[in-house]
Structure 1
Amino acid sequence: MENTLNQILSEIKGMKTDISDMKTEISGMKTDICDIKTDICGMKTDISGMKTDNSGMKTDISDMKTDISDMKTDISDLKQGQRRLEESQEKMQKNIIESLGGFTDRIMDHVDDKTGALNKRVYKVESDIERLSRQ
């Protein structure tokens, strides 16, 4: 009987050792779980920050798309303006050439008129001199 009691006591001591080891392992697991919770909290914060950054990037991209659209409109307007300027320049060159031609014709007519009048006066003077020299 004493053997049996010693054997039971020995078994109980083994179980106490096993329970003590389990308590140590559970304590380590609790520490690990606490560390995991802290890491998860940090990850949640990081994900929240990434969502905020992503939202900011979406806004920036939207703004860039609007700016690009505005630039396309501006470029289109500039091209139309350039085309109108080129057409106007061609018309202006033609008008200048036509005006210069008209002015040249008027100047030539004026010079011809003045030359004709001068020729008449010279002829009259020559005729008067000729007539006076015959007398």
Structure 2
Amino acid sequence: MNLELKELLRSVLKEELEPVHQRLDGMDKRFDGIDQRLDNIENDVQGLKQDVKEFKSDVDGLKVDVKELKSDVDGLKVDVQGLKSDVDGLKVDVQELKIGQAELQKNIVENLGEFTEKIAHQAEDRTYVLNRRLFDVETMIYKLIS
């Protein structure tokens, strides 16, 4: 009887536990699916971490490039400031040259007038001397002839 009872109990338990086993098997399959999804998510997260590392590396490179650009821009600003200073100096020099040229043109006109007058006076003086000599020569010739 014990054995029959034992077998009966076993068969009843087996029947009663069969839906539980089926549910557990179904849950195992679901957990396997969940495990697979988690593995996929972990792989995706690892890929994202790698992408973030690469992105950080790229950002660090860009930061270096931006620092270099800022340094270059600062250098250009200094150069432009120097050029502005040089241009201002050139403007002053050009203005001085214009003033000097105007004075030179004025002086040339005045000096040409003075030089022309000196030449005219010198020509008059030489003409006077030559006329005087000519007169003296003519007078001597006249005295000799008469």
Where on the TM-score scale, by shorter chain, does this alignment land: which range?
A: 0.7 to 0.9
User: Counterpart of 1:109?
Assistant: 121
Residue of 37, 42, 53 corresponding to 1:41: 53
Deviations 1:49-71 (A, max 9, x none): 11112112212222222222222
Give the Cα separation in 1 of the matches to 2:81 and 2:114: 49
Give the Cα separation in 1 of the matches to 2:67 and 2:116: 72
Give the Cα separation in 2 of the matches to 1:67 and 1:23: 65
Unaligned runs of 5+ in 2: 1-11
User: Counterpart of 1:128?
Assistant: 140
Deviations 1:54-105 (A, max 9, x none): 1122122222222222222222111111111111111112222222222222
Residue of 51, 76, 79 corresponding to 2:88: 76
Q: Specify the code of the residue in structure 2 equivalent to 1:12.
A: L
Q: Specify the code of the residue in structure 2 equivalent to 1:33.
A: V
Q: Specify the code of the residue in structure 2 equivalent to 1:123.
A: F
Judge which range, 64-73 or 85-94, deviates more.
64-73
- TM-score, scaled relative to structure 1: 0.87
Q: How many residues align?
A: 134
User: Counterpart of 1:14?
Assistant: 26
Q: Specify the code of the residue in structure 2 equivalent to 1:124.
A: D
Shift of residue 38 of structure 1?
Answer: 0.7
Give the Cα separation in 2 of the matches to 1:132 and 1:24: 153
Which 4+ runs in 1 deviate beyond 4 A? none
Give the Cα separation in 2 of the matches to 1:15 and 1:125: 155
Give the Cα separation in 1 of the matches to 2:135 and 2:19: 167
Q: Specify the code of the residue in structure 2 equivalent to 1:69.
A: Q
What percentage of residue pairs aligned between the two structures are identical?
Answer: 30
Larger radius of gyration: 2
Shift of residue 25 of structure 1?
Answer: 1.3
Give the Cα separation in 1 of the matches to 2:137 and 2:37: 143
